[in-house]
Chain A
Amino acid sequence: MSYVIEAIDLRKQFRDFVAVDSISFHVQPGECFGLLGPNGAGKTSTIRMVYGFSPMTTGILRVFGLDIATHWRAIRTRIGVCQQDNNLDPDLTVVKNLEVFASYFDIPARAARQKAHELLQFISLDHRAQTKIPELSGGMMRRLVLARALINDPELLVLDEPTTGLDPQTRHQVWEKVEHLRSRGLSVLLTTHYMDEATRLCDRLVIMDQGKILVEGKPADLIERHAGRYVIEVDKPDAELRTFIRSHDLHHDDLAHRIIIYDSVSEQLFHTLSSSYCSGNCMLRMATLEDVFLRLTGRELRD
């Protein structure tokens, strides 16, 4: 079994700041692998090493079985990258953005024109081929960045926060496009702040914090393991409820004005709570990846 990406003890250090602290992970062919974590967790640093933008400090990093340090050029011809910034070329039109980008891959002009045409259809921007970049909406730009990353028919797509700042319509459209690409066998490496995005797109993911991997697994397994199936949220809890929670040793987060109870929550418990302690201000819901994320990385702001 050969991996698409194989990272062993990957480390990135800037002077005395360790951005990525000896992490190991692998991505299998056809898989969508997610890197999650708060700001400054080391996601983008990791991704930049994967596509050979920034050199690693120590460790082993192979993409398509090739060493990134020595074969970065061969690797980059086979991957497509959506960077975090919308770095489309504002001096060029929509279609020229794709054609000129194709030239960086040494794709002949005629093939590039054909490919650009197909991709504009794929992202439903064919009617805007001659538009200048600054005239596009944020969603259109993001779709074009995605199309541009596909110009070389990559085997691996690297998406660094692909839907940040987009409206729900565009987000769903981007997800559909990514799912469509995956059905054609494309492997995907994704970073995101959106847990619903990770749950929907990722086969497996890691949650990182301060340069380290905290957990790894399938989204559903991680939810089951770290937050249970159901969660009870109680608004403005009183002292009695707190005593009850403590005496029953329930896993919970106390946010002062709100208590969240995790793990092994049964409907029975919910009925007990809602009838005796918190009628009207408690809620039973499915546990989500966001619960897992917040439990593992904490609720403090990271800037």
Chain B
Amino acid sequence: MSRWPSFHITRRFLRVWQRDLVVYQKIWKVNLLTPVFEPLLYLLAFGVGLGGLVGKIFYQQREVPYIEFIAPALLAVNIMYNAFFENTYASFVRMYYQKTFDAMLATPLSLEEVIAGEILWGATKAVIATVIMQAVISLFGLIHYPHGLLIIPVAFLGGLTFGALGMFCTGLTPSIDMFNLPIFLLITPMFLFGGTFFPIDHLPAWARKLSLLFPLTHLVDCIRQLSFGLIQPGILWNLAVLTILFVVFFPLALITMHRRLIR
């Protein structure tokens, strides 16, 4: 183990991912509950309740029912929550309270491989949750196929981005309570202003520009295009932003976690 983080990650990191998968399988019934029922609640509240007030909404010069507009946003938010919370709270518990990482670091695994495995697991959990939620939403005919199938690989990319962002926060946070800070400063604003419940065109110009820096804005945009089956060249830009943010936050996560754990 060197004093500086190494970006040399061997295939062994999959073992860490596997460990998380084994644990997930044990409580898979509980794990399925949230992605199955949460969209139903959201669709009921926003689609039926709020949607009754809002009626139709303009999206890509077309009038669409409000419920159809927010359904893809629910998928995107679900990806963000699954990956971000897995690599903040859940990873922190494994690192700090359960000392699982310490035990792993007495084996041929490097810290960088442990962290990479954890982020890959966060993304995997986001994909599993997406598949389930998407199946439920599809029952209401709210997703166009076959384009809609591409949501799954996008969920993986989004999961990696939010997982790396979460792990970066885990590397910095002094205590588990302090995760409130990135949630208040990043996650909640994204949830509200990331083009989720209303198009960002309705925001003032400065706020719209700010919103374009959010990974969620791009994830929502991307998934909405796929779910409507109306794919535009801008989707490449969305994917590029998500990729760039991952490429930035993954090494930052490695650096902060290395500084935190290797003493």
User: Which A residues have a C-beta under 8 Å from some C-beta of B?
Assistant: 14, 51-55, 69, 72-73, 76-77, 81, 83, 85, 87-92, 96, 100-101, 103-106, 148-149, 152
Contact = CB atoms under 8 A, between A and B. Distances in A.
Contact of B19 (A69, A85, A88, A100): A100
A82 to B, nearest CB: 9
Given A53-B1, A54-B262, A77-B108, A90 B103 contact: no
Nearest to B12: A106
Contacts of A53: 1, 102, 105-106, 262
Given A87-B98, A89-B98, A100-B22, A55 B108 contact: no
A263 B104 CA distance: 47
B107 interface: yes
B2 A55 contact: yes
A73 B108 contact: yes
A101 B16 CA distance: 10
Given A83-B103, A85-B102, A92 B23 contact: yes
Contact of A104 (B22, B98, B99, B107): B107
B180 interface: no
A143 to B, nearest CB: 16
Contact of B100 (A14, A51, A89, A96): A89
Query: Would you list the 3 A-B pairs with minimal beta carbon distance, nearest first?
Result: A87-B99, A81-B106, A104-B107
Interface in B59-118: 98-100, 102-110
B3 interface: yes
Given A14-B263, A53-B106, 12 more contacts: A85-B102, A87-B98, A87-B100, A100-B18, A100-B19, A101-B103, A101-B107, A103-B19, A104-B109, A106-B12, A106-B108, A152-B107
Nearest to A72: B1
Contacts of B22: 92, 96, 100
A105 B108 contact: yes
Which among A54, A55, A100, A104 has the greatest number of chain B C-beta atoms within 10 A? A104
A87 B108 contact: no
B102 A76 contact: no
A73 B110 contact: yes
A52 B99 contact: no
B209 interface: no
Interface string B15-58: 11011001100100000000000000000000000000000000
Contacts, number: 70
Contacts of A92: 22-23
A149 B12 CA distance: 19
20 contacts: A53-B262, A54-B262, A76-B106, A77-B108, A83-B102, A83-B103, A85-B99, A85-B102, A87-B99, A87-B100, A87-B102, A89-B19, A89-B100, A100-B18, A101-B107, A103-B15, A104-B12, A104-B104, A104-B109, A105-B108
Contact of A54 (B18, B109, B263): B263
A69 B2 contact: yes
B1 A55 contact: yes
Contacts of B26: 91
A69 B2 CA distance: 6
Contacts of A148: 103
A186 B201 CA distance: 70
Given A100-B22, A103-B15, A106-B12, A76 B103 contact: no
B101 to A, nearest CB: 9
A69 B6 CA distance: 13
A55 B5 CA distance: 12
Nearest to A87: B99
Nearest to B100: A89
B16 to A, nearest CB: 8
